């Protein structure tokens, strides 16, 4: 039976199992497959296209994107004229990332009437103002500004952010030049906000109404935030400051310095959030300083800190139901991985580095009976010991063999990931 005789529904079902790269390859094989793939919009849901050097793109290219209704676009080294061209061909674009933006304004964003997610990262030119946010106030659900130099005042930025009343995610990462004394004025207006990621460079004690106005805090009210990420953090907090965050379920702290101060403020966070489900700590004090304060509700834990094997024993007692663990210890101890099956028997996902880890310790992970996904964070190797500059960013033959052995020992229950795929709109700060 020829290809043309098979029903289209059968081919679309087959195509649904392919990766993005494989779909693009199949699309190039014949006109029939190209037609089937381009006309089946569900196959391209979530597909992201990276655009650079717009002079290379002709009308057939733009029409192919429009037919597939590509909803996520990344523009690198772009200019305002490129936004006009993009709006002409893809007026219904839902998500856009501007990476290394080359001009001081983005007023053309008002041409995208259905855009709900916007990310602006690593601008080579400072943004003169943020007035473009006012035109998007009734449609934006997610906003990310990372490594963007703003020439406007902090008050003007906060006023613009306050207009985005439909936001569910807000991310603002900067170099510390933006002085924001309090977030209460913004958070009061963003009643739908669930995820907040903010650069927090201050050595002072946060005001009692930093996260919420005094009248809301006094009345026992709380924000709807469920996920909070604080970058370059070194601020002093009290339980009164954290009272409005009672709905928080996920906390990520990226400390400003690897050498901690005299007081571990993370202890206050942990005692104020007894229902926390996820905790991520990068830098700061050694784990031993706050391990005894971990809430028993924790299901997910990321530790990129100084720790010792005995510290993990404390964690296992404090968080006995842990299911997800990301472990990158600063110490050189190689015996940590061997302890995991005994200390955290309920683990379902695990992220570790395999260099300096013995083969036996790696295969010892088979004893994690509930493990579903193992992610190896350092899948590279140096094939020539005499040339340390030659690095191949792929799993080494040794690692590939270890993965095969582990999967055989677990009857292929465990999926091993050696290359992480980032969300296309996210930045590289976290």
Task: Kindly indicate the confidence band of residue 143, based on its pLDDT and cuts at 50, 70 and 90.
Answer: very high
Identify the bridge partners of residue 205 per DSSP, sorted by sequence position.
236
Task: Kindly indicate the confidence band of residue 305, based on its pLDDT and cuts at 50, 70 and 90.
Answer: very high
C-alpha 81: how far from its chain's center? 30
* Range with lowest mean pLDDT among 23-37, 64-78, 201-215, 319-333: 201-215
Average pLDDT, the chain: 89
Average pLDDT over residues 345-357: 93
Quote the pLDDT of residue 190.
92
What is the pTM for the complete model shown? 0.88
Residue 58 maps to a domain: no
Q: What's the maximum distance between 2 C-alpha atoms anywhere in the chain?
A: 76
Residue 349 maps to a domain: yes
Give the chain's domain count. 2
**In degrees to the nearest 10, what's the CA dihedral of 388, 393, 394, 399?**
50
Specify the CATH number for the domain of residue 25: 1.20.1280.50
- Greatest mean pLDDT among 2-16, 319-333, 359-373: 359-373
Residue 230 maps to a domain: no
Whose CA is closest to 377, among 419, 407, 330?
419
- Tokens of residue 116, six digits: 């709900």
Residue 96 maps to a domain: no
Residues 6+ apart with CB under 8 A from 368: 340, 341, 344, 345, 347, 350
Residue 74 maps to a domain: no
Identify the bridge partners of residue 280 per DSSP, sorted by sequence position.
252, 302
Domain housing 385: 343-423
Residue 277 maps to a domain: no
Task: Kindly indicate the confidence band of residue 217, based on its pLDDT and cuts at 50, 70 and 90.
Answer: very low
pLDDT tens digits along 34-64: 888 888 878 878 788 999 999 999 999 999 8
- Greatest mean pLDDT among 10-24, 63-77, 208-222: 63-77
**What is the per-residue DSSP string for 98-141?**
EES--SS--GGGGG-TT--EEEEE--SS-BS--THHHHTTTT-S
Residues 6+ apart with CB under 8 A from 383: 390, 392
Residue 15 maps to a domain: yes
Quote the pLDDT of residue 332.
61
- Whether the pLDDT of residue 1 is over 70: the answer is no
- Whether the pLDDT of residue 203 is over 80: the answer is no
Residue 117 maps to a domain: no
DSSP letter (8 states) at residue 203 = -
Q: Is 251 exposed, middle or buried (0-12, 13-18, 19+ CB in 10 A)?
A: buried
Quote the pLDDT of residue 234.
80
pLDDT tens digits along 230-249: 998 888 889 999 999 989 99
Percent of the chain with pLDDT over 70: 96
- Whether the pLDDT of residue 215 is over 60: the answer is no
């Amino acid at each position: 039976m020829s290809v043309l005789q098979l029903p289209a529904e059968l081919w679309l079902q087959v195509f649904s199992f392919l990766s993005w790269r494989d779909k693009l390859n199949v699309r190039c094989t014949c006109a029939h497959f190209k037609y089937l793939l381009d006309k089946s919009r569900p196959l391209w849901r979530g597909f992201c296209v990276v655009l650079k050097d717009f002079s290379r793109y002709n009308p057939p290219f733009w029409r192919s994107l429009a037919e597939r209704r590509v909803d996520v676009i990344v523009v690198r080294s772009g200019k305002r004229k490129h936004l006009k061209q993009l709006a002409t061909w893809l007026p219904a674009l839902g998500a856009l990332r501007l990476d290394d933006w080359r001009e001081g304004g983005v007023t053309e964003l008002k041409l995208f009437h259905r855009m709900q997610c916007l990310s602006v990262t690593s601008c080579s030119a400072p943004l003169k103002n943020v007035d473009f946010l006012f035109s998007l106030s009734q449609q934006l659900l997610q906003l990310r500004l990372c490594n963007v130099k703003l020439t406007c005042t902090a008050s003007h930025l906060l006023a613009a952010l306050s207009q985005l009343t439909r936001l569910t995610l807000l991310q603002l990462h900067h170099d510390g030049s933006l002085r924001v004394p309090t977030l209460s004025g913004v958070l009061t207006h963003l009643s739908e906000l669930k995820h907040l990621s903010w650069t927090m460079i201050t050595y002072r004690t946060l005001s009692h109404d930093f996260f919420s106005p005094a009248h809301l805090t006094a009345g026992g009210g709380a924000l709807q935030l469920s996920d909070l990420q604080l970058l370059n953090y070194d601020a002093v907090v009290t339980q009164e400051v954290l009272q409005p965050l009672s709905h928080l379920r996920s906390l990520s702290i990226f400390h400003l310095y690897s050498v901690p101060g005299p007081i571990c403020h993370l202890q206050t966070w942990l005692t104020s959030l007894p229902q926390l489900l996820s905790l991520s700590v990068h830098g700061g004090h050694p784990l031993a300083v706050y391990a005894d304060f971990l809430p028993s509700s924790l299901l997910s834990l990321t530790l990129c800190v100084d720790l010792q094997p005995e510290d993990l024993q404390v964690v296992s007692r404090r968080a006995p139901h842990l299911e997800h663990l990301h472990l990158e210890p600063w110490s050189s101890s190689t015996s940590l991985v061997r302890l995991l099956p005994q200390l955290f028997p309920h683990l379902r996902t695990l992220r570790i580095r395999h260099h300096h880890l013995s083969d036996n310790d790696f295969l010892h992970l088979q004893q994690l009976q509930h493990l579903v996904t193992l992610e190896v964070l350092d899948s590279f190797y140096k094939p020539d010991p005499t040339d340390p500059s030659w690095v191949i960013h792929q799993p080494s033959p040794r690692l590939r063999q270890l993965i095969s052995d582990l999967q055989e020992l677990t009857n292929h229950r465990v999926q091993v990931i050696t290359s992480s795929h980032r969300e296309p709109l996210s930045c590289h700060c976290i």
